[in-house]
Amino acid sequence: MHLIDLQAYLSELGDNNNRAWFVMNKPRYDILRAEFLQLVTELITDISKFDPAILGLEPKKALFRINRDVRFAHDKSPYKTTFSSSIVPNGRKKPSEGGGPAYYFQMDGTGRLFYAVGEYMPPSDRLKAIRTHIVTDPEGFAKVLKDKKLKAQFGTLQEEGKLQRPPKGFDADLPHIEQIKLKNFMVWTECPLKGMDTDELKTTLLTAYRSAMPLVSWLRSVPA
């Protein structure tokens, strides 16, 4: 994939976020989208070597649309200024829909690569199930938090939107109560794309994704 071309396109789209510009530059978009689809196709194949649950996922189902849903948004810009993908076994792109842990990444016009693994804003029943599983499997959850490769790649679970107090039904003195307060069960990080080619991009993502398998496996063990 031509990462420099993608960055330039997304940067220009950010400066000209309107339908007229998008239509005039549609041929550029189509080429870049096809290249991105090929990248995701290769990632699915490689991820499935250490996570067979991904095998057989249709690559197109792992891509996010570039059109924004502006119905309830203050910002009415019609297009996203990122190319992004969420690789989930059942093809659901939103863990908030109950898709389970995902391998996510996005690239933007500033030349940043953002990548994450886990569940972002799971629905309330799923969130309660994860929290309950922490209570019933504290040792298994502790192993995830202490995993050296996971910590080296991502650090700890992100705390965006963390509750100030324990959620209803969970005592304050429970083991891992600080993690029980989380609304997301994800690890993520970012790095510059500058100087990367496609092979280096894939290596970066696959190394990180493989390191996060303890988290993926634990989340999949949560009873439905």
pLDDT in tens, 103-138: 999 999 999 999 999 999 999 999 999 999 999 999
**How confident is the model at residue 92, as a pLDDT?**
59
Question: From the CB of residue 140, how many other CB atoms can be counted at a distance below 10 Å?
Answer: 14
**Rounded-to-integer distance, Cα 189 and Cα 185, Å:** 14
Q: How does DSSP classify residue 197?
A: -
Residue spans per domain, the chain: 3-220
pLDDT in tens, 203-219: 999 999 999 999 999 99
The reply to whether the predicted model has a pTM over 0.85 is yes
**How confident is the model at residue 210, as a pLDDT?**
98
Length of the chain: 224
